[in-house]
């Protein structure tokens, strides 16, 4: 039965859900994390005020009694928000309770909680996102928070052959002689494509959250992601739930590997199309990974996965996709070695094949112009080669991978250190993942080299803290413009801050990660929580083909725990963002509208660092002093 028919039958039952949604609260002048603050952790709020002098503030308890007083710190003019900002630090207060309010003159915050311990709700919700993005299986009502979020399976099975017609530039692609069953995996974002490069960084982040907890013997974190902790079909199978979820995507990535003995014509090297045409060269593609499986044309919003009847294609294999497979399959071989030796061996074999294929074909880039999917083009693959070599070396200890590591200009580099820094973590910048693995996982590098890797990550964290201190709202991020997916950029920095805390046990790094999470949960100039279901003013209308209640009331609103891409002042190409170009400050270039795909789309590689950071904050809440 199609989703459209399903909702026609059940829409009457869903009407109460649609009509009882509360009106969104108006913005408040005092902004802080809308889910509450930690009793023992750092606690800051922000106020936009023209005053050049510090202002008196009071913290009131639920009965209106004064619990603490102080003076604001005048930060001053803040370029990112366009406001004159005052900062309120009430870290000294540590009494748990509900209904606290901050008051500065006539300005007052909404009531908030001071939490004695984490409740884990954000971590679980952020991880549930991945189950609800699964392809090829039905999303069952028993595993989601509301009945309307259940849906029939989409793309079951998800079998395709290679794209074999003209692309948007008129380039004719010859196709291939095989079909792959690429069922499973996660839909990438608001569309229903599945992409190897975005899948790679997302899997690494979730598996690293587990590996960090296991290697550092973090019992609270292991319990939070352990067997039975999450609402999944695989629960109670004696495997940590976070790994069950990651494996669902890993299985898809493994299925995207080109079979042995296949020759494919592909564009080799950096090419500038002449009259729309690329030069295609036959290569031995055995062991490479296809860039993506996706629709021939974009589907409209809304379109439930089961109602997506577009022809699906495999798009030609690329070196970046192949190295992503090599890296995460090697990581998986290490982590599943005792949990499932057979799966571990399969992953290691695939990783070796992929790395060898990428070494044989080092310069096949994603440059095709295909209509129904994102490109994910990456012109520099130095970081992917380094990351894959790091994962394979950490898993095998073999000399060939160590040689490749040491030859890389990114050897032991961190986001801001080394002769050639890696840059911040993103799908197109994965060098820091290699250094993070070498700093964390047992391997054969010299003790001094492992220390160098750790110190580089700490130095990057110091830079992030300095940038946070330069910002009125204090996210650990400073930029002239906010890019597409800025919330994930900030949270990926918080991953580095979390690792720096682990390696140094200095509270300031954890406090910087708290700043990042506070920002996305409401401590920003829009007084907006960018995470659905969390906060008085939570994101409601993502760009998504199924969570599309704003576009069509027959479709559901998003589940809790979904992260919006966030403010975007640099790529403003959708119908909502375009009129804002040049008229908004970087942190305010955002609208809660499903049409604003440059500002309000969701994606697996954005929710992954949200889950990592939330798990880290929960795990370390019991052991730190405020700063």
Task: Judge whether 295 lies within some domain.
Answer: yes
pLDDT recorded at residue 4: 34
- The total of structural domains in the chain comes to 1
Distance in angstroms (rounded) separating the CA atoms of residues 300 and 289: 28
pLDDT recorded at residue 623: 61
- Which entry of 295, 592, 618, 619 is annotated as an active-site residue? 592
Task: Judge whether 275 lies within some domain.
Answer: yes
Q: What is the CATH number of the domain that holds 187?
A: 1.50.10.10
**10-residue stretch averages of pLDDT, the chain, 627 residues long:** 33 30 81 97 98 98 98 98 98 98 98 96 98 98 98 98 95 96 98 98 99 96 97 97 98 98 98 86 98 98 98 98 99 98 98 98 95 96 99 98 98 94 98 98 98 98 98 97 98 98 97 98 98 98 98 98 98 96 97 98 98 98 60
Pair 157, 257: CB distance under 8 Å: no
| Two structure tokens written together for 223 | 């319990």
Task: Judge whether 326 lies within some domain.
Answer: yes
| Two structure tokens written together for 234 | 């695989």
Task: Judge whether 394 lies within some domain.
Answer: yes
| Two structure tokens written together for 6 | 């399903």
pLDDT recorded at residue 624: 53
Task: Judge whether 66 lies within some domain.
Answer: no
Task: Judge whether 268 lies within some domain.
Answer: yes
Beta strands in 80-213 (DSSP E): 83-89, 97-104, 107-108, 112-115, 159-161, 179-181, 194-195
Helix (H) or strand (E) holding 294: strand 289-295
Is position 307 annotated as part of the catalytic site?
Answer: no
Task: Judge whether 434 lies within some domain.
Answer: no
pLDDT recorded at residue 40: 94
SS3 593: coil
319 secondary structure, DSSP code:
H
Supply angle C-alpha 142, 148, 154, rounded to 5. Answer: 80
Is position 188 annotated as part of the catalytic site?
Answer: no
Distance in angstroms (rounded) separating the CA atoms of residues 378 and 381: 7
Expressed as residue numbers, the domain containing 395 is 154-405
- Which entry of 249, 391, 518, 601 is annotated as an active-site residue? 601
Task: Judge whether 571 lies within some domain.
Answer: no
Pair 523, 109: CB distance under 8 Å: no
Mark residue 136 as left, alpha or beta (left: phi above 0; alpha: psi -120 to 50; beta: remaining): left
Pair 184, 200: CB distance under 8 Å: no
């Amino acid at each position: 039965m199609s989703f459209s028919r399903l909702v026609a039958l059940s829409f009457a039952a869903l009407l109460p859900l649609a009509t009882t949604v509360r009106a969104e609260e108006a913005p408040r002048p005092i902004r802080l994390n809308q889910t509450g603050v930690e009793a023992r952790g750092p606690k800051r709020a922000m106020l936009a005020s023209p005053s050049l002098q510090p202002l008196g503030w009071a913290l009131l308890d639920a009965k209106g009694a004064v619990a603490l007083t102080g003076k604001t710190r005048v930060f001053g003019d803040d370029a990112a928000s366009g406001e004159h900002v005052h900062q309120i630090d009430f870290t000294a207060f540590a009494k748990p309770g509900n209904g606290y309010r901050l008051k500065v003159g006539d300005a007052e915050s909404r009531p908030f909680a001071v939490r004695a311990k984490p409740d884990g709700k954000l971590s679980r919700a952020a991880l549930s996102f991945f189950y609800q993005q699964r392809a090829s299986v039905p999303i069952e009502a028993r595993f989601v928070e509301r009945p309307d979020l259940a849906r029939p399976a989409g793309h079951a099975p998800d079998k395709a052959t290679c794209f074999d017609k003209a692309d948007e530039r008129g380039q004719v692609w010859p196709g291939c002689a095989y079909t792959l069953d690429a069922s499973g995996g996660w839909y990438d974002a608001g569309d229903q494509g599945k992409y190897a490069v975005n899948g790679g960084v997302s899997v690494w982040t979730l598996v690293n959250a587990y590996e960090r907890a296991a290697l550092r013997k973090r019992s609270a974190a292991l319990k939070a992601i352990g067997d039975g902790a999450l609402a999944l079909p695989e629960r109670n199978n004696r495997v940590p739930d976070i790994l069950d979820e990651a494996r669902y995507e890993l299985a898809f990535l493994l299925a995207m590997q080109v079979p042995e003995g296949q020759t494919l014509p592909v564009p080799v090297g950096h090419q500038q199309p002449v009259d729309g045409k690329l030069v295609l060269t036959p290569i031995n593609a055995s062991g490479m990974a296809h860039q993506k499986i996706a629709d021939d044309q974009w589907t409209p919003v809304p379109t439930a996965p089961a109602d997506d009847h577009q022809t699906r294609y495999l798009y030609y294999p690329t070196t970046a996709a192949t190295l992503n497979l090599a890296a995460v399959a090697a990581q998986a071989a290490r982590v599943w070695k005792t949990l499932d030796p057979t799966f571990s061996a399969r992953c290691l074999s695939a990783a070796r094949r992929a790395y060898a294929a990428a070494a044989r074909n080092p310069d096949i880039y994603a440059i095709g112009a295909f209509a129904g999917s994102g490109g994910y083009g990456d012109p520099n693959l130095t970081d992917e080669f380094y990351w894959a070599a790091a994962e394979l070396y950490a898993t095998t200890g073999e000399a060939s991978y160590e040689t490749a590591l040491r030859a890389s200009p990114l050897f032991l580099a961190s986001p801001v250190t080394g002769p050639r820094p890696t840059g911040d973590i993103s799908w197109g910048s994965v060098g820091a993942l290699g250094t993070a693995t070498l700093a964390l996982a047992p391997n054969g590098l010299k003790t001094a080299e492992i220390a160098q890797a750790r110190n580089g990550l700490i130095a990057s964290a110091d830079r992030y803290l300095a940038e946070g201190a330069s910002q009125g709202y204090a996210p650990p991020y400073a930029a002239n413009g906010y890019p597409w997916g800025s919330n994930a950029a900030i949270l990926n920095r918080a991953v580095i801050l979390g690792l720096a805390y682990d390696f140094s046990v200095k509270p300031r790094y954890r406090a910087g990660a708290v700043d990042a999470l506070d920002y996305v949960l409401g401590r920003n100039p829009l007084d907006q929580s960018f995470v659905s279901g969390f906060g008085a003013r939570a994101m409601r209308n993502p760009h998504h083909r199924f969570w599309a209640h704003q576009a069509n009331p027959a479709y559901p609103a998003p589940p809790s725990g979904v992260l919006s891409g966030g403010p975007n002042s640099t790529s403003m190409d959708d119908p909502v963002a375009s009129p804002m170009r040049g008229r908004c400050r970087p942190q305010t270039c955002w609208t809660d509208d499903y049409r604003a795909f440059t500002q309000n789309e969701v994606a697996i590689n954005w929710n992954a660092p949200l889950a990592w950071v939330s798990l880290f904050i929960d795990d370390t809440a019991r052991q730190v002093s405020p700063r």
